[in-house]
Amino acid sequence: KAGVTQTPRYLIKTRGQQVTLSCSPISGHRSVSWYQQTPGQGLQFLFEYFSETQRNKGNFPGRFSGRQFSNSRSEMNVSTLELGDSALYLCASSLQSSGRAGGQYFGPGTRLTVT
């Protein structure tokens, strides 16, 4: 069974631009969560989608948005990029809810650098 895939793996953008990241979950998984990882901060939860509905949202500004398609693939968008948005963005999928299932399965992440 193929794992979680994320595209692109690396991205360099300039301040003010916008970016779209993509995530394809494991086949059959309906929950997709997005996280931002920065050094010393662990994983900061962005949002979770389940069956095309945003089920939960972390404490990030409205510049961060996402969506999920009927095939469970998900995208996240960051508009008006800031230097502080430079991070590893991780996508995770699970069969049910992100916090209750026997763990989430993570993709390798997209490394975003904002200059």
The bridge status of strand 53-57 relative to strand 87-94 is: unpaired
By CB under 8 A, residue 90 contacts another protein:
yes
Q: Is 104 in the site for another protein (CB under 8 A)?
A: yes
Amino acid found at 114? V
Question: Which residues have C-beta within 8 Å of that of residue 69, sequence separation ≥ 6?
Answer: 52, 75
Residue 44 or 79 with smaller CB distance to another protein: 44
At closest approach, how far in Å is the CB of 4 from another protein? Answer: 7
Nearer to another protein, 65 or 88 (CB): 88
- Write down the least CB distance from residue 95 to another protein, Å: 12
**26, 32, 92, 114: which one binds another protein (CB under 8 A):** 92
Our measurement of the distance from residue 103's CA atom to the centroid of its chain's CA atoms, rounded to an integer in Å, reads 16
Q: Footprint of another protein on residues 5-64 (CB under 8 A)? A: 33, 35, 40-45, 48, 55-56, 58
Between strands 110-114 and 10-13, the pairing is parallel
